[in-house]
Structure 1
Amino acid sequence: MPPGTSMSAAASVTTLWPVLAAGLVAGYAVALPVGPVASYLVGLAARHPWRVGVAGALGIATVDGAYALVTGLFGTIVADLVRPVAGPLRVASAAVLVVLAAHGAWTAWRERAASDGGTRTDPLSAPRAFGRFVAITAINPGTVLFFAVVVTGGALLPDAAATGAAPAAAVVFGVAAFLASASWQLVLALGGTLLGRVLSGPRGRLGTALASSGLMVALAVVLLLG
């Protein structure tokens, strides 16, 4: 291997370390605030088996990582495309959250009624939870705009482009954001599972569902007003 090639590869690897750190920081920054989706995750995990909460957490993290990857590759283009429709997407996000809040409260009420009759319905599977959280996270314009601002405003990836490692940097940035988001969402999901074990009675499950639904509606109103 020519000396110049090995030096270029070493420079590329060196350049990727700051991108890895930036991806981790960005992933935690977008995941840590407990918004309506996180509140829904905790409430759902409290009423279902642990695998359902874990699947939901990974659904959220998958979208975060995918958005980080896309903005790492096409940051400026993505920001320009999303910004004009951010308002309608915000309205759509709020509407979906209200519908999910109503659905969660109604499902918990039916489970309470079923438990009084000696049975309990538990219709949500792990694959459905994964798909549901992918959908409600994907329509959040704030996530993709946040990553676009981090990439373009922070000038993380142009340095990698100078060494010919721009695609690799985008992948590293996306994977790091996924891992950061997944670690926090799993904490929330497993915390919800533990809460569900503490409040394992029908009234406890109904109470957590109604509290989660109420918080989601309140956050949806904040989302519309913001």
Structure 2
Amino acid sequence: MTAALVAGLLAGYGIAIPVGAVATYLVSLTARTSLRTGVCAALGVATADGLYALVAALGGSALAGTLQPVLLPLRWASGLVLAALAIRGAVSAFRQYRGQRLAARSGEDPPHPARAYLALLGITLLNPTTVIYFTALVLGSRTADAVRPLEQGVFVLAAFAASASWQLLLAGGGALLGRALTGHRGRLVTALASSVVITVLAVRMLVAPP
């Protein structure tokens, strides 16, 4: 039981801590909206990690081979969605800045927390690397019969908790960043920097070898 708990925590932090496009977008979204929206978005990411951990725990190492034929389409879909988010964020920031309404966020309603949750859930689910990671790291050397259902449950819950704690930390950082950058220019620079980083990461995802 303890081994399953530790394995789940390590797996959850291992997939969550590396800062990529999704983490960058999460911080930027919280900075531009509110902590409540950021928390919901963070839980969306953690839910996707938890679901992939569940699939890996139930499917075992054979699941990685099953997903191999669709890895390229999923990678392209994920990269294109992230690129679209980067472009949308930059265009929105420019419009608000030119209209001198950036600080008040008027003219465009902030995303509803539920919508932010579903958006980040969907983006994270598009990344097949997550399930490959969980399978290879924890279950790749064991057969499905060797893992008891209770241990599988502990592993999945621990992975979700680890991912959620890190994503919530990122959301908190985004909220602090939003409070610090109250001026028009500060928010514009932050939004553009985030869009650039997300675009670079999306391009790297699209051009990476299979």
TM-score if structure 2 supplies the norm length?
0.91
Shift in Å, 1:159: 4.0
**Where does residue 170 of structure 1 map in the other structure?**
152
Instruction: Give the corresponding residue for 1:6.
Output: none
2:89–2:191 contact (8 Å) kept in structure 1: yes
- TM-score of the superposition, structure 1-length normalised? 0.85
Percent sequence identity over aligned pairs = 49
1:35 pairs with one of 5, 20, 39: 20
Deviations for 1:31-72, whole angstroms, at most 9, x for unmatched residues?
000001001111111111110111111000000011101110
Instruction: List per-residue Cα deviations over 1:116-150 (Å, max 9, x = no partner).
Output: 49762333111010000001000001111111112
C-alpha contact (below 8 Å) 1:19/1:156 kept by paired residues: no
Give CA deviations for 1:72-115 in whole Å, capped at 9, x if unaligned. Answer: 01123421221221111111111111001111112222333444
Across the aligned residues of Structure 1 and Structure 2, the Cα RMSD in angstroms comes to 1.8
Within a 5 Å distance, the mapping from 1:71-90 to structure 2 comes to 71-90=56-75
- 2:126 corresponds to 1:144: no
Count the aligned residue pairs. 206
Counterparts of residues 1-226 of structure 1 (less than 5 Å): 16-116=1-101, 120=106, 121-155=108-142, 159-160=146-147, 166-226=148-208
- Do the aligned partners of 1:60 and 1:185 also contact (CA within 8 Å) in 2? yes
Distance (whole Å) between structure 2 residues aligned to residue 116 and residue 148 of structure 1: 47
Native 8 Å contact 1:199 1:205 kept in 2: yes
Contact 1:22 1:156 in 2 (8 A): no
Gaps of 5+ in 1: 1-15, 161-165
Taking the aligned partners of 2:93 and 2:149, their CA distance within structure 1 comes to: 46
Letter in structure 1 aligned against 2:133 = F
Deviates more, 1:202-211 or 1:56-65: 202-211
Whole-Å separation in 2 of the counterparts to 1:221 and 1:197: 30
Which SS does the other structure have where 1:124 is aligned? Answer: coil
Match of 1:163 in 2: none
Whole-angstrom distance in 2 between the partners of 1:201 and 1:158: 58
Q: Which has the higher helix share?
A: 1
**Do 2:33 and 2:110's aligned partners in 1 also have CA atoms closer than 8 Å?**
no
Deviates more, 1:72-81 or 1:94-103: 72-81
CA distance in 2, matches of 1:41, 1:119: 18
CA contact 2:60–2:144 (8 Å) conserved in 1: no
